[in-house]
Amino acid sequence: MHIPSPEPLSTLSPDALRQAVRQAQGRIGADLRRTPLWRLPGAALGLDLAEVWLKLEHLQVGGSFKARGMFNRMRSLPVPAAGVVVASGGNAGIAVATAARSLGVRCEVFLPELATAAKRAALAALGATVNVQGAVYNEALAACLVRQQQTGALLMHAYDQPEVVIGAGTLAAEIEDDVGLPDRVLVSVGGGGLIAGIAAWCGTRCRVEALEPDLAPTLHAARLAGEPVDVSVGGLAADSLGAKRIGAIAWGLSQRFVADSHLLADSAIRSAQQRLWRDLRLAVEPAAALGLAMLWSGALVPAPTERVAVVLCGANFDPASLA
Q: What is the mean pLDDT of residues 166-171?
A: 98
Q: How far apart are the first and last CA of the chain?
A: 48
Produce one character per residue of 169-205: b if its CB has 16 or more CB atoms within 10 Å, e if not: bbbbbbbbeeeebbbbbbbbbbbbbbbbbbbbbbbee
Quote the CA–CA distance of 9 and 256 in Å, as a whole number. 12
Quote the CA–CA distance of 100 and 127 in Å, as a whole number. 9
Percent of the chain residues topping a pLDDT of 70: 98
173 Cβ contact list (under 8 Å, min separation 6): 18, 21, 22, 25, 201
Give me the count of residues in the chain.
Answer: 323
Q: For residue 107, is pLDDT > 60?
A: yes
3-class DSSP state of 176? helix
What pLDDT, in 10s, does the model give residues 185-239?
999 999 999 999 999 999 999 999 999 999 999 999 999 999 999 998 888 887 7
Residue ranges per structural domain of the chain? 6-64+161-322, 79-156
Per the CB < 8 A criterion, the answer to whether 193 and 165 are in contact is yes
pLDDT at 238 (0 to 100): 75
Q: What is the mean pLDDT of residues 140-163?
A: 94
Per the CB < 8 A criterion, the answer to whether 118 and 312 are in contact is no
Q: For residue 2, is pLDDT > 80?
A: no
Q: What residues does 188 pair with on adjacent strands? A: 211
DSSP string, 82-108: T-EEEE-SSHHHHHHHHHHHHHT--EE
Q: For residue 3, is pLDDT > 80?
A: no
- What is the four-CA torsion angle of 218, 219, 221, 222, rounded to 10 degrees? 110
3-class DSSP state of 154? strand
Domain 79-156, second-level architecture: 3-Layer(aba) Sandwich (3.40)
- From start to end of 195-274, where are the E strands? 207-213, 258-264
Quote the CA–CA distance of 71 and 84 in Å, as a whole number. 12
Domain 6-64+161-322, second-level architecture: 3-Layer(aba) Sandwich (3.40)
Quote the CA–CA distance of 314 and 106 in Å, as a whole number. 24
94 Cβ contact list (under 8 Å, min separation 6): 62, 63, 64, 66, 88, 119, 122, 123, 126, 316
pLDDT at 24 (0 to 100): 97
What value does the mean pLDDT of the chain take? 93
Per the CB < 8 A criterion, the answer to whether 207 and 185 are in contact is yes
Which amino acid is present at 46? G
Q: What residues does 132 pair with on adjacent strands? A: 111
Q: Give the count of beta carbons closer than 10 Å to the beta carbon of residue 284.
A: 28
Which amino acid is present at 214? D
Quote the CA–CA distance of 58 and 41 in Å, as a whole number. 21
3-class DSSP state of 66? helix
Rg for the chain, CA atoms, rounded:
18
79-156 has the same fold as 6-64+161-322: yes
What pLDDT, in 10s, does the model give residues 236-259?
887 777 788 999 999 999 999 999
Quote the CA–CA distance of 122 and 99 in Å, as a whole number. 13
Q: How many CA atoms lie within 13 A of 56 on its CB side?
A: 14
